[in-house]
């Protein structure tokens, strides 16, 4: 419940930030145009992201095997709609969920995930992904991306306005110029940080929901410890930064700069919260 309230608060903060920046840079009309354009782009991503990301990571649908059986058991036990199940050829252990709603959901795991986890740990990981599906986190992420994208678009509009002589008349031009430059610099960064906070909040919620679906918090807690170690030692190659937030653990964890703006909560904190549930 707390994470849901936090998510609503963060989305509200993003919206207020958009309205404020729209007023500073382009008025209400500028904010509306930015929101519409960002919305169109993200709606397209929302509808087709599953096909794009599965093709990107060369996923193949499976209808049998341990991974499929674990997902099927979770769905039967919790009366959930069975998603499509995909196996990715990567050796680095990881997993993600995608799809626009529970009726069109996909859960995917790498080959390496099956190789290092027990069946119980694998169930914990896939329960986490099914929790994302159940709570429509893909939609929440799309909303956050839409607003953050609109803010970035407004900042770009301001940049072009300055290049072509915008910024107000002689009397207030200096003040407008300072406000515009400050907004251009800090607004996209603030939007990105809030968007990432939304992502981290949903990860905590999915951990809790996954523990409830599989019936034992230790399944996921033990799996997360193994996944963090494996991804630090052998980060997944050729990861698209735009998709990193989808995975259960950050596939970019081997890159130090990514730690500054992480889309995932610290693994140890996630493990501690799961252990506290038990």
Residues identified as active-site: 129
As beta bridge partners, residue 86 has: 61, 108
35 Cβ contact list (under 8 Å, min separation 6): 18, 146, 147, 150
What count of other Cβ atoms lies within 10 Å of the Cβ of residue 154?
27
> With the CA atoms of 202, 203, 208 and 210 taken in that order, what torsion angle do they form, in degrees rounded to the nearest 10?
110
Whole-number Å distance between alpha carbons of 167 and 196: 31
Residue 93 backbone zone (phi > 0: left; psi -120 to 50: alpha; other: beta): beta
Given the structure tokens 């209400």, which residue do they identify?
28
Beta-strand relationship, 106-110 and 84-88: parallel
Helix pair angle (173-214, 267-277), 10° resolution: 40
């Amino acid at each position: 419940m707390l994470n849901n309230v936090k998510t609503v608060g963060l989305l509200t903060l993003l919206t207020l930030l958009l309205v404020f920046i729209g007023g500073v840079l382009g008025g209400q009309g500028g904010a509306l145009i930015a929101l519409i354009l960002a919305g169109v782009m993200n709606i397209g991503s929302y509808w087709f992201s599953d096909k794009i990301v599965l093709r990107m990571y060369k996923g193949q649908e499976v209808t049998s095997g341990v991974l499929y059986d674990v997902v099927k058991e979770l769905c039967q036990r919790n009366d959930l709609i069975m998603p499509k199940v995909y196996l990715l050829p990567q050796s680095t252990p990881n997993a993600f969920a995608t799809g626009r709603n529970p009726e069109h959901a996909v859960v995917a795991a790498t080959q390496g995930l099956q190789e290092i986890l027990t069946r119980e740990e694998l169930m914990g990981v896939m329960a986490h992904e099914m929790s994302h599906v159940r709570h429509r986190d893909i939609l929440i992420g799309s909303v956050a991306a839409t607003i953050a994208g609109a803010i970035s678009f407004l900042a770009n509009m301001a940049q072009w306005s300055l290049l072509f002589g915008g910024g107000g008349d002689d009397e207030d031009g200096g003040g407008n110029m300072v406000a515009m430059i400050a907004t251009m610099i800090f607004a996209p960064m603030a939007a990105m940080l809030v968007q990432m906070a939304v992502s981290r909040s949903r990860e905590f919620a999915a951990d809790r929901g996954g523990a409830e679906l599989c019936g034992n918090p230790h399944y996921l807690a033990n799996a997360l410890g193994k996944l963090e170690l494996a991804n630090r030692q052998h980060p997944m190659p050729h990861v698209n930064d735009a998709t990193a937030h989808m995975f259960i653990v950050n596939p970019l964890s081997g890159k130090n700069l990514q730690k500054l703006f992480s889309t995932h909560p610290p693994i140890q904190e996630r493990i501690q919260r799961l252990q506290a549930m038990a």
